[in-house]
Structure 1
């Protein structure tokens, strides 16, 4: 006989991880409001807060065994706001709006690439064999958003005039580069293979403290450098691997040619 009484826990949602997701969504929303009011430094800081909250919700869900399909979907919807809409509007209102229709086109391309990146990531999760925990396929959208936020924060902190042509050019190039990296097949380290609950040697603990101290000395330049280097790391690694693979193929071809001549 079929039991019509369903477990009431199945109809609910887990509060704790979704609170972090809601905090990330709120930070992204506030970044949009700040961009509309030309408070670009506040908007950039909100993007970083959203990234921190986004990194915590999944970890909290795994640690408390409260993962759910609802949480995964909610996280993706929050990401499209915090790391898609918010950075696109920040870079548009801050810089690229000065190149007319090309400006909103660049902002839209970035937003569309974030949506495509999230859609591909969600579909890859259904096939565990196609996803390595050590690498992301394409640049993660929180890292792309953090790079844009760092660039805006750094330029405002340094007192550069937004209307300067070279600054608008670099803003457009960086935005398009990040957009291309998100939808590319280039591998980026995920750092998920590091066990944060495990023990570390004393030297590693000192290095972590040193890095935190450097970030707080001047967070605008330090955070931008960190995330910009991460965004470039995938391209350089792919180029290095391609050159090494080409060199190996050439060495094998020379070896085969030498064997044929010896015969």
Structure 2
């Protein structure tokens, strides 16, 4: 009897532990699913002419995309399935959603220059797909994890949504041709070899003193509340131009006291 009772107790404990492991493994996927849902919602509302709402939904997709990776590392649930699922969600939220948002804004279903919209928006989707496929197939364990090769698709989508959010209500008719130009540069940068800083380490649970991250987030949140249009544009275009701007500003970092650098690191 004691042996049978012990076996039963161990079986129950093992089942509980297995259930907890399965719950932890699915937790990051819930954030990935939320990312995809927001991207899909952005597509639907874009074709109803609610461009700013579509931008807000794509911005939420960016938040969920950052969160799913952070949660996966936090609970130790990084897996090949999670990587592939995340890429498929990103293709919806940062490939299809921005392209269809731009096409809906540019063409409005009636413009004779729709062909230009088709070409530019398909170029965006193709570049996003190539960017994600290249990322999945060229993972190098020895590579510098602080950088991405090519503009990440969420960063590229941020440029589009910031531009549309700022100017969609003031542009009419053929004036909307500007939005196709906004699409071209980020699309080509996604498949380029330009290195972009990865902020993955800043949201890692191993970050011991994330004071710099907290200060940056505080400034961004205040900006989004007070002047959302300006804040979105500054954040999106600063990251887009960061490979050019950071080398120019790096000499100024020598003027910052070492004590301040340590506090912000």
TM-score over 0.5 for the pair: yes
In the alignment, structure 1 residue 179 sits paired with structure 2 residue 187: yes
- Partner of 2:145 in structure 1? 133
Distance 1:87 1:67 in 2: 27
Which SS does the other structure have where 2:240 is aligned? helix
Instruction: Report if the CA contact (8 A) 2:70-2:203 is conserved.
Output: no
What is the aligned length?
A: 226
Q: Which residue of 2 aligns with 1:189?
A: 197
Query: Is the 8 Å Cα contact of residues 94 and 162 (structure 1) preserved in structure 2?
Result: no
One of 86, 103, 111 as aligned partner of 2:117 = 103
Cα separation, partners in 2 of 1:91 and 1:204, compared to 1, 3 Å? closer
Aligned to 2:105: 94
C-alpha contact 2:220 2:231 (8 A) present in aligned 1: no
| CA offsets 1:186-216 (integer angstroms, 9 cap, x no match) | 0111123436642255x87555423321221
TM-score, normalised to structure 1, is 0.78
Deviates more, 1:170-179 or 1:20-29: 170-179
**Distance in 2 separating the partners of 1:189 and 1:143:** 11
Pair 1:228 & 2:237 matched: yes
Distance in structure 2 (CA, Å) of the matches to 1:79 and 1:179: 14
Structure 2 length-normalised TM: 0.77
Q: Is contact 2:202-2:210 (8 Å) kept? A: no
Q: Residue by residue, what CA displacement relative to the aligned partner does 1:157-193 show, whole Å, maximum 9, x if unpaired? A: xx3123143x41x212210001110000001111234
Gaps in structure 2 of 5+ consecutive residues:
1-13, 249-265
Q: Structure 1 residues 225 and 31, CA, compared in 2 at 3 Å: closer, same or farther?
A: same
CA distance in 2, matches of 1:51, 1:119: 19
Change in Cα spacing, 1:92 to 1:68, as seen in structure 2 (3 Å) is: same
- When residues 199 and 52 of structure 1 are mapped into structure 2, their CA distance, relative to the original with a 3 A threshold, is same
Q: What does residue 71 of structure 1 align with?
A: 82
Aligned match of 2:173: 163
Give the direction of change, closer, same or farther, for the CA distance of 1:148–1:200 in structure 2 (3 Å limit). closer
Q: Contact 1:96/1:104 (CA < 8 Å) preserved in 2?
A: no
1:53 aligned partner: 64
Residues 92 and 194 of structure 1: is their aligned pair in 2 closer, same or farther, counting only changes over 3 Å? same
SS, match of residue 184 in structure 1? coil
What RMSD over aligned residues (CA atoms) do the two structures have, in Å? Answer: 2.6
Structure 1 unaligned spans of 5+: 1-6, 241-263
> Post-superposition shift, 1:106?
0.3
Q: 2:162 aligns with which of 123, 136, 150?
A: 150
